[in-house]
Structure 1
Amino acid sequence: MLFGIEWDTSSNWLFASSILPILFKGLVVTIQATVLGFFVAAVLGLVLAALKSSRLRIISWPARLITEFIRDTPLLVQLFFLYYVLPEYGIVLPAFLTGALALGIQYSAYTSEVYRAGIESITRGQTEAACALDLSPLRTFCVIIVPQAIPRIIPALGNYLVSIMKDVPVLSVVSVLEMLNVAKIIGDRTFNYLIPLSMVGGLYLILTLVASAAIRHLDQRLPKQGIPLK
C-alpha cells in the first residue's frame, strides 16, 4: 500500500488497474515539475540572453561565464548542491521546489542560447528604427525584439520542454515522488517491476506525443513576423 491505495497482484490486468491511480499521482507531480522547471528555464534563459547581448563587457562576460558553468556541470551535481549544501547556509527548500529549480537552472543555459539565436535573427534595422523613435533599449528589447524572436524559436524551446519532462525522474534522488520513483517503490514492494515500469514508459510516451503536438500547433498558429502587441 502506498498513498493509502492497495493493489492486487493476482493477475497482470488487475495489478495494472490497481496501481494506475497511484501512478496518476506520480504523473501529476511529473507534470508540475515539468511546468515549473520550464517556466524557470524560459524566464532565466531570457534574462541571461539579454545580459549576454549587452554591449558592455562588464555585463555580457559574467553572463556568458554563468551560462557556461551551468551548462558544463551535471544536473545531478546542481541538484545535490541545492538540496544538501544550501541548508548549511540557512536556505532550506522543499524537495519538489528544489528539483524544479535545478531543472530550470540547468536548462536556462540552453534556452538562453535559443533566445540568443532568435534575437540575432532580427535585422539590425529594427533596432535602428527603435532608436530613431527614441525608444529605450529595454523597451526596444521587450516590445520590438522579443515579440519577433519568440515565434522563430518555439520549436527549439519545445524540444527543451520535452527534455525537461524526461529529466524529471532525476528528482527521485531527493525523494520526489514522480512517476518513475513511484513505479520503483511499487516494484520494490511487489517484486514486479515489469508492469509498473512499462506503464510509466507508456505514460511518458503519451506525454511527449501530446507536448510535441501542442508545440507544432503553436508553431503553426503564431505569426512568423512576430507577436502583435496591443
Structure 2
Amino acid sequence: MVDEEEIRQSPFWDWDFAFDAFPDIFMAFVEVTLLVTVIGSLVAAVLGLVIAILIMVLPKPLAWVVRWVANFIRMTPIVVQLIFVFWAFVWMDALTIGIIVFGVHYATYMSEVYRAGIESVPKGQWEATTALSMSAGRIWRKVVIPQALRSTVPSLGNYAISMFKDTPFLLVIGVAEMVTVAGERGAPVFRTTEVYTIAGLLFLAASYPTAVLINRLEKRLAYAH
C-alpha cells in the first residue's frame, strides 16, 4: 500500500498512487457501473416497448393512464426516484433498487422512441397485413416491430449511454459505483486528480466506442432501409 504521507507531499500527479487506486476503481466500474448500465438498459428496452405498445392498443382511458404514469416518471428526477424507492422498499438490496429505478426511468424515454418508430411504419404495411388476415400478434412480431426497430436502435443506444453517465447518482442510496469509489480513495489523502482522471478515462473508454458503434449501426440500418 502506498504511504499516505508520501502521497500528500508528492507532485501534481503521482503514478504510484494512480496505479495503487486503479484496481479498486476498475472493480467498481465492472461490478456496479457497467452492471447497472447493461441490465438497466435491457430492462428499459423491453419495458419501453411494452409501454409503447400498450399506449397504442389499449382503450383510450387505460392508454391515458399508462401515458400519464410514464410521463410522471419521465418528468421526475431520477435522484428523487432512487431515494423514494430506497426508503419504500427497505428490504431490497440497494444495487437491485438502482437497476430497477434506472430501468424503469429510462423505459419511459425509450417508449417515446418506440412510439415514433411504430408510427413511422407506412400505412400501407398495416393495410397489407389486414388484407392478409394476419393476427394482431403476428402483425406486431413480424411486420411492425422489426420495421420500427430499424429506426429506433440508434436512439436506444444513446439512452443507454446517458444511463451509463447517470450512474454516479447511485451514491444517494449508498451504492459505491466508480466515481464514488474514486472519491473515497482520493479524499483521505487529498489526491483527487489521479482518481477522477482514471474514472473519467474509464467513462470515455466505454462510452466513446459505444457511440461510434451506434453511429455506424445507424448508417448501416439507413443503408439497408
Common topology (TM > 0.5): yes
Q: Residue 121 of structure 2 contacts residue 147 of structure 2 at CA under 8 Å; is this kept in 1?
A: yes
- Which residue is equivalent to 1:123? 122
Number of the residue aligned with 2:28: 26
CA-CA distance at 1:25 after TM superposition = 0.4
Counterpart amino acid of residue 37 in structure 2:
T
3-state secondary structure, aligned to 1:177: coil
Higher relative contact order (CA 8 A, sep 6+): 2
Matched with 1:135 is 134
Structure 2 CA distance, aligned partners of 1:170 and 1:109?
18
- 1:185 maps to 184
TM-score using structure 1 length: 0.88
Query: Matches of residues 147-162 of structure 1 in structure 2 within 5 Å?
Result: 147-162=146-161
- 2:57 alignment partner, SS class: coil
- Counterpart in the other structure of 2:107: 108
- Cα distance per residue 1:16-61 (max 9 Å; x no partner): 1111111110110211110111111111110110011126213311
Q: Which amino acid aligns with 2:53?
A: A
* Counterpart residue identity of residue 18, structure 1: D
Gaps of 5+ in 2: none
Q: CA deviation at 1:225?
A: 5.8
Distance in 2 of aligned mates of 1:158 and 1:78: 23
CA contact (8 A) 1:8 1:14 kept: no
1:43 is matched by which residue type in structure 2? V
- Preserved contact between residue 114 and residue 157 of structure 1 (Cα < 8 Å): yes
CA deviation profile, 1:90-144 (whole Å, cap 9, x unmatched): xx22111110111111111110000011000001111121122222222211221
Tell me if the contact between 2:48 and 2:114 (Cα under 8 Å) persists in the aligned partners: yes
| Equivalent in 71, 83, 89 of residue 80 of structure 1 | 83
Instruction: Quote the Cα distance in structure 2 between the aligned partners of 1:132 and 1:38.
Output: 37
Q: Measure the CA separation in 2 of the matches of 1:212 and 1:164.
A: 13
Deviation digits for residues 50-83 of structure 1 (CA, Å, limit 9, x no counterpart): 0111262133111111111111111011111211
Moved more, 188-197 or 8-17: 8-17
Query: What's the % identity of the aligned pairs?
Result: 39
Residue deviations 1:135-164 (CA, integer Å, cap 9, x gap): 222221122101011111122112101100
Greater helix content: 2
Measure how far apart 1:223 and its partner are.
6.6
CA distance in 2 between partners of 1:86 and 1:174 (Å): 12
Q: Distance in 2 between matches of 1:174 and 1:151?
A: 37
Contact kept in structure 1, 2:82 and 2:172, CA below 8 Å = no
Structure 1 unaligned spans of 5+? 1-5
Match of residue 56, structure 2, among 45, 53, 56: 53
Contact 1:152–1:224, Cα closer than 8 Å, also in 2: no
State TM-score, norm by structure 2.
Answer: 0.90
Note closer, same or farther for the CA distance 1:171–1:94 as it changes in structure 2 (3 Å cut): same
C-alpha distance in structure 2 between counterparts of 1:216 and 1:119, whole Å: 21
Count of equivalent residues = 217
Q: Report the AA paired with residue 80 of structure 2.
A: V
The 1:224–1:121 alpha-carbon spacing in structure 2 relative to 1, beyond 3 Å, is: farther
Residue number in structure 2 paired with 1:17: 19
